[in-house]
């Protein structure tokens, strides 16, 4: 295990009625003015959630301004609007009500409101990140794990550029997590969320560090749990206990609990994010489309960990299979799992065109002297082109290899 430093400074309030405690927690920290940020969905009013948060803030004497309109793949334009409002109203915290897109947008607003430069300059690396306003999250759709991660992803819709910023100060100060709030989330976004958290764990699990230890076994346990509870939760969207399992896994999948002490990969996200930037494809769908094809290419270079993954996550017994054959079975099982959630595993499944591959490759930030990405397998432009091409039609149904 490599040396590491981690501080997860998020206060978690988990369970029924968690959203009613927002005002008490923020008031105790001296917050007096907030911007409430959300997607503007009708469910916020019909469910009573928005009123519950308003009342909680009111009881604590905290004034608020609201900004809705967040879309999947959160837009830079709305972030800039939120920053202007936050500065004009002199708010001292941002309250995000929603899922990953709302939370990431809120993080970017809090960052821009605390600084003097245009917020996009932080994402492009022109200026360092040193401070932000506190962010409190009322989580409604577990997926990205943004409620306690140091990551924010924003889509510059004018440049068709989707960039990730990762800084410790971006971790939210509070996460209010009531699984009841997620039971009204429909099947498709629920499935997208499950794929997202599954991928977050895999990005850490598939490492060039081949030592097998406690972090690996924790990751395998979380992945096995998702494989078990994912289809069950889609069969019964209102099951509180299943939703609770998924909600907590979304958190630990991305706050680095399952990634300390190792070199991480992240090539699946780098490749998949270009589908969102170019086609505005939902994030979870881009990951399910790309992951199997990425696994096929990466496992050719490093079969060991993929073989273990097949055994420990999908309970595929080795028998007489070698590592390569076992890895292929695990990849096929992964795509079968995604299909069981109703998720696409190819461009074709989601009716995406295949004419943007070179443009997407141009936008991937290949780095280092060998101009590659990844950890378990270093992938160059040709490798990534092959991944996109494999993903155009996906695996042949009924064939595992």
For residues 300 and 371, membership in a common domain is answered with: yes
- Return the pLDDT at 209: 87
What distance in Å separates the CA atoms of residue 253 and residue 382, rounded to the nearest whole number? 30
pTM above 0.75?
A: yes
What would the mean pLDDT of 83-88 be, rounded to a whole number?
Answer: 98
Alpha carbon 216 to its chain's center: 20
Using an 8 Å Cβ cutoff, are 3 and 108 in contact?
A: no
Residues 39 and 99 in one domain: yes
The pLDDT value given to residue 396: 62
Torsion of CA 108, 114, 120, 124, to 10 degrees: -100
- For residue 302, tell me if it sits in a domain: yes
Read off the pLDDT of residues 56-69 as tens digits, 9 standing for 90 and up: 999 999 999 999 99
Domain end (from 127, 154, 182): 182
Q: In the structure encoding, which two tokens stand for residue 104, read together?
A: 């990431």
Domain-located, residue 277:
yes
Query: Mean pLDDT throughout 261-280?
Result: 95
Q: Does residue 253 share a domain with residue 339?
A: yes
User: Which domain range does residue 166 map to?
Assistant: 11-182
Quick one: 33 and 115 in the same domain? yes
Judge if 69 and 159 occupy the same domain.
Answer: yes
Q: Does residue 399 carry a pLDDT above 80?
A: no
Nearest to 297 by CA among 398, 384, 198: 384
pLDDT tens digits, 31-58: 999 999 999 999 999 999 999 999 999 9
How many Cα atoms occupy the beta-carbon half-sphere of 130 within 13 Å? 6
- Closest of 246, 244, 243 to residue 222, by C-alpha: 246
Are 101 and 224 found together in one domain? no
Q: How many domains does the chain have?
A: 2
CA 299 to chain centre: 23
Q: Say if 326 falls within a structural domain.
A: yes
Shared-domain flag, residues 149 and 232 = no
Burial of 125 (0-12, 13-18, 19+ CB in 10 A): exposed
Q: How would residue 401 be classed by pLDDT, with cut points 50, 70 and 90? A: very low
62 shares its domain with 132: yes
Q: pLDDT tens digit string along 198-255?
A: 999 999 999 998 788 999 999 999 999 999 999 999 999 999 999 999 999 999 999 9
Query: What's the CATH number where 328 sits?
Result: 1.20.1090.10
Residues 196 and 319 in one domain: yes
Give per-residue pLDDT as tens, 295-353.
999 999 999 999 999 999 999 999 889 999 999 999 999 999 999 999 999 999 999 99
Q: Please report the pLDDT score of residue 160 as a whole number.
A: 87
Q: What is the pLDDT of residue 305?
A: 95
| In the predicted structure, residue 391 carries a pLDDT above the cut 80 | yes
């Amino acid at each position: 295990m490599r040396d590491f430093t981690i501080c997860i400074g998020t206060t978690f309030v988990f369970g029924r009625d968690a959203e009613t405690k927002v005002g008490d927690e923020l008031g105790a920290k001296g917050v007096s003015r907030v911007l409430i940020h959300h997607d503007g969905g009708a469910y916020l009013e019909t469910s009573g959630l928005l009123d519950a948060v308003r009342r909680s803030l009111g009881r604590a004497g905290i004034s608020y301004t609201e900004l809705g309109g967040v879309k999947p793949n959160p837009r830079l334009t709305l972030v800039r609007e939120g920053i202007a409002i936050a500065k004009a109203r002199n708010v001292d915290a941002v309250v995000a009500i929603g899922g990953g897109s709302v939370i990431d947008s809120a993080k970017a607003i809090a960052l821009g409101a605390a600084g003097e430069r245009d917020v996009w300059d932080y994402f492009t690396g022109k200026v360092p990140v040193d401070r932000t306003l506190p962010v409190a999250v009322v989580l409604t759709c577990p997926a990205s794990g943004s409620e306690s991660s140091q990551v924010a992803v924003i889509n510059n819709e004018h440049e068709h550029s989707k960039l990730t910023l990762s800084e410790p100060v971006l971790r939210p100060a509070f996460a209010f997590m009531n699984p009841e709030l997620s039971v009204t989330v429909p099947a498709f976004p629920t499935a997208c969320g499950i794929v997202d958290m599954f991928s977050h764990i895999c990005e850490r699990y598939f490492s060039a560090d081949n030592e097998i230890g406690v972090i690996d076994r924790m990751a395998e346990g979380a992945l096995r749990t998702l494989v078990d509870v994912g289809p069950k939760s889609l069969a019964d969207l209102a099951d509180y206990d299943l939703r609770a399992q998924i909600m907590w896994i979304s958190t630990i999948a991305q706050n680095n609990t399952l990634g300390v002490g190792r070199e991480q990969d992240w090539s699946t996200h780098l490749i998949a994010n270009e589908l969102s930037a170019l086609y505005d494809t939902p994030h979870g769908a881009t990951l399910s489309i790309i992951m199997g094809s990425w696994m096929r290419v990466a496992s050719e270079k490093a079969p060991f960990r993929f073989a273990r993954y097949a055994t420990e996550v999908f309970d595929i017994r080795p028998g007489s299979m070698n590592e390569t054959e076992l890895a292929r079975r695990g990849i096929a099982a992964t795509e079968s799992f995604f299909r069981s959630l109703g998720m696409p595993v190819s461009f074709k499944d989601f009716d995406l065109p295949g004419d943007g591959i070179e443009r997407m490759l141009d936008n991937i930030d290949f780095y280092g002297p060998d101009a590659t990405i990844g950890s378990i397998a270093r992938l160059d432009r040709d490798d990534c082109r092959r991944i996109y091409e494999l993903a155009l039609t996906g695996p042949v149904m009924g064939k595992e290899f």
